[in-house]
Structure 1
Amino acid sequence: MATLTKVKLEQTIAKVVGQMKNMRGSIEETAPIGIISMENWEWPQGVGLFALHGYYRETGDRETLRFLTNWFDARIQEGLPDKNVNTMCPMLTLTYLAEETGRPDYLDLCREWLDYVMHDMPRTEEGGIQHEVTGSANEGQLWDDTLYMTVLFVARMGVLLKNDACIQESVRQFLVHLKYLTDPSTGLFFHGWTFLEGGHHFARALWARGNSWYTAGLVDYLDMAEQPEGVRLFLLSSLRRQADKLIELQSPEGAWHTLLDDPDSYPETSAAAAFAYGMLKAYRRGDLDAKHRDCALRALNYVLSSIDEDGVVRGVSYGTGMGRTLQEYRDIPICPMPYGQSMALLLLVEAMKHGDGSAEKEASETKAAAEAPISRAKGGRRNE
């Protein structure tokens, strides 16, 4: 990678990491547990921790490792929240720390939370994990978020404990969720499904970040656990069909709208980063094609332009519950969030692996060649 490009990316990464570690609330929150401050234990913090650990694995940065162990030690001492789909998310990172540090207290906690998932977590029909969260049981509901927040942890524990039952459970969850959430006409994913009320997809929202949980989560799932070959091929075919549609829906400036098929909804940066990360990594793995890489590079350029001088990732929507109307998604406020920082971090670290600086070079060329002016300032950058 060209020295200047590598230095620039490293400097941006350092700023993004610093902001994530020190993130505090910036708006009045509606979630029962605060989901902005990194001092809380919830799913956004879990997503952030996983990205930080990935950064540590790539760089060997001992300060980041200390941050992670100190974070878990502090939260454990404070007392952990009730177990549910979203509070399960930090446990994924703890599996890696348990393995690396050899600390039995970390592993015991992982076993305890895994036991809850495998035996006590509420299920829907056909055994899907019900998307129970803090303050809401969401009875009978499947959400696309669940795969990232809980199922990756189950798969990782299967590897750590050499327990095939966990791997098979992770496979079942992917298949059940794809069965009920896939839009057959586009290959994209609806935000949720309920088995109650006759069965329906709520607002039939093709929500960007919800879709991106699959794109970003699948490439790491395929890395962390071995699936039966037929399952692996099925999951990749779902990724390819999704990625093909994403190419069609990408905006001229390189982003995607928070409702993927609604150009009047605002562009959303965390989804752009997660889509780009998943497609770039899948291309490097040999699972997607050059056209998907080029799409990801346009998104990389968009994400880079959305990171301010202090390393704050802008244009990120607040936590998004299940909408009964599409307008509810359009009205979600925008503010810096841990998962905005983390998805950008995953993308930037992945971009460092793509040769001689071609990722940023090609992204810049895409920006220069674009005929349409960047319109984010006009298109719904609200509450920043």
Structure 2
Amino acid sequence: MEAVSRTVLEGHIARVIERMKDMRGSIHETAPIGIISMDNWEWPQGVGLFALYRYYRETGEQEILHYLTGWFDSKLDGGIPAKNVNTMCPMLTLSYLAEETGRADYMQLCREWLEYALHDMPRTEEGGLQHEVTGSPNTGQLWDDTLYMTVLFVARMGIVLKEEACIQESIRQFLVHLKYLTDPVTGLFFHGWTFEGGHHFARALWARGNSWYTAGLVDYLEMVELPSGVSSFLLSSLARQVRKLTELQAPEGAWHTLLDDSSSYLETSATAAFTYGMLKAVRQGLLPEDCRKPAMAALHYVLGQIDEEGVVQGVSYGTGMGATLDDYREIPVCPMPYGQSMALLLLVEAMKHV
């Protein structure tokens, strides 16, 4: 396989960032809040902001910092949406910016949203965070998306405020979600579980949902220092997931949107997130070196999905809980902020491997 040069990666990074800032919809949106344009405050934008912030920390590019503070300032002036699992996602980046800038208004907002997450956010049985989103309470439901969208922020605030209770809450959420979402046969994760009826909906082993764990765990472990028993458990879940992923990887280097269904389309955002998590875990000694080869094959696939204008192609639109597997197969494909952001995280990580 041909090696990837730093020059190639740098060129892709610049184009991906520019297109992320200027995302525009190419399909009729079905989400209650627009999730394509970076002008909105929702989970896709939150994922995008986090990737931009990580890039800023790597490079020190002040233009990126100005973009991020400008984004939040415009939203604070214009009003922000109601609190839920998905609208919590931008707060992860704001927690870093609050420290970076020393701005009291940023920190106050972080404290306010943390209080909601800890004390007022709806819960399922066993204290799991119910995946309430804009337009739907999803009563009694656990989704694998929640770990990335809300729990990372709770853990991060535990570090910022030196509040051990936040760290312990983040541990509980990881353990409760893994208890109910892990498929014991494959080690992959079902998209969701409901306590109302006690089932996994379509039993979908959905790629992007799985990738929230792969990408999110390596960043979580970088944020917090966990008891060794907890970190060992979370890493063993990652290792088993990745072993199965390598079995299911398509010849092209990507993964299908339903991981165990080769008739479903190849999906770029999940592929990028899987690859980011795998490469970072290998670099940090959390996964064995033999995981590098499938990850590099996936990197080549993602590079091939970035067009000349920096748009990441092959990304599925926002995906709610499916009642049937066809619900996942039929999700439309269009450029999305999280496609851009997961590609960006991957490309920046890949710079450390060339």
TM-score by length of structure 1 reads 0.91
* Alpha-carbon separation, structure 1, partners of 2:290 and 2:256: 20
Equivalent residue letter for 1:213: W
Other structure's SS at 1:352 match: helix
* Alpha-carbon separation, structure 2, partners of 1:302 and 1:11: 16
* Alpha-carbon separation, structure 1, partners of 2:310 and 2:110: 32
Matched residue, 1:86 = 86
> Would the alpha carbon gap of residues 122 and 204 (structure 1) be closer, same or farther in structure 2, given more than 3 Å must change?
same
- Written as runs of structure 1 = structure 2, the 5 A alignment for 1:121-270 is 121-197=121-197, 199-270=198-269
Equivalent residue letter for 1:100: E
* Alpha-carbon separation, structure 1, partners of 2:200 and 2:306: 34
Equivalent residue letter for 1:333: P
* Alpha-carbon separation, structure 2, partners of 1:228 and 1:39: 40
* Alpha-carbon separation, structure 1, partners of 2:303 and 2:105: 39
Equivalent residue letter for 2:245: L
Q: Percent identity?
A: 76
* Alpha-carbon separation, structure 1, partners of 2:54 and 2:26: 26
> Which piece of structure 1 moves more, 344-353 or 285-294?
285-294
* Alpha-carbon separation, structure 2, partners of 1:147 and 1:51: 16
* Alpha-carbon separation, structure 2, partners of 1:57 and 1:16: 17
Other structure's SS at 1:135 match: coil
Other structure's SS at 1:353 match: helix
Instruction: Report the CA distance between 1:81 and its aligned residue.
Output: 0.3
Matched residue, 1:375 = none
> Would the alpha carbon gap of residues 58 and 182 (structure 1) be closer, same or farther in structure 2, given more than 3 Å must change?
same
- 1:55 to 2:90 alignment: no
Other structure's SS at 2:190 match: coil
* Alpha-carbon separation, structure 2, partners of 1:302 and 1:35: 25
Matched residue, 1:370 = none
Deviations 1:161-186 (A, max 9, x none): 00000000000000000000000000
> Would the alpha carbon gap of residues 323 and 298 (structure 1) be closer, same or farther in structure 2, given more than 3 Å must change?
same
Matched residue, 1:380 = none
Instruction: Report the CA distance between 1:118 and its aligned residue.
Output: 0.4
Instruction: Report the CA distance between 1:291 and its aligned residue.
Output: 2.0
* Alpha-carbon separation, structure 1, partners of 2:114 and 2:26: 33
Equivalent residue letter for 1:38: M
Matched residue, 1:352 = 351
Deviations 1:137-178 (A, max 9, x none): 000000000000000000000000000000000000000000
Other structure's SS at 2:250 match: coil
* Alpha-carbon separation, structure 2, partners of 1:145 and 1:292: 24
Runs (5+) with no aligned partner, structure 2:
none
* Alpha-carbon separation, structure 1, partners of 2:207 and 2:123: 25
Matched residue, 1:68 = 68
- 1:105 to 2:80 alignment: no
* Alpha-carbon separation, structure 1, partners of 2:325 and 2:290: 30
Instruction: Report the CA distance between 1:293 and its aligned residue.
Output: 1.1
- 1:308 to 2:284 alignment: no
Equivalent residue letter for 2:81: P
Deviations 1:218-246 (A, max 9, x none): 00000011111100000000000000000
> Would the alpha carbon gap of residues 285 and 27 (structure 1) be closer, same or farther in structure 2, given more than 3 Å must change?
same
Other structure's SS at 2:5 match: helix
Instruction: Report the CA distance between 1:196 and its aligned residue.
Output: 0.5
Q: How many residues align?
A: 352
* Alpha-carbon separation, structure 1, partners of 2:262 and 2:6: 34
Instruction: Report the CA distance between 1:4 and its aligned residue.
Output: 8.6
Matched residue, 1:5 = 5
Matched residue, 2:288 = 289
Instruction: Report the CA distance between 1:11 and its aligned residue.
Output: 0.9
* Alpha-carbon separation, structure 2, partners of 1:65 and 1:26: 28
* Alpha-carbon separation, structure 2, partners of 1:184 and 1:109: 40
CA RMSD in angstroms comes to: 0.9
* Alpha-carbon separation, structure 2, partners of 1:330 and 1:84: 27
Deviations 1:5-35 (A, max 9, x none): 1122111100000000111222110001000
Other structure's SS at 1:286 match: coil
TM-score by length of structure 2 reads 0.99
Other structure's SS at 1:142 match: strand
Instruction: Report the CA distance between 1:117 and its aligned residue.
Output: 0.3
Other structure's SS at 2:193 match: strand
Matched residue, 1:368 = none
* Alpha-carbon separation, structure 2, partners of 1:155 and 1:317: 28
Matched residue, 1:34 = 34
> Would the alpha carbon gap of residues 221 and 120 (structure 1) be closer, same or farther in structure 2, given more than 3 Å must change?
same
Equivalent residue letter for 1:230: G
* Alpha-carbon separation, structure 2, partners of 1:113 and 1:315: 33
Instruction: Report the CA distance between 1:266 and its aligned residue.
Output: 0.2
* Alpha-carbon separation, structure 2, partners of 1:269 and 1:335: 11
Instruction: Report the CA distance between 1:292 and its aligned residue.
Output: 1.1
Other structure's SS at 1:282 match: helix
Find runs of 4+ consecutive structure 1 residues off by over 2 angstroms: none
* Alpha-carbon separation, structure 1, partners of 2:177 and 2:84: 17
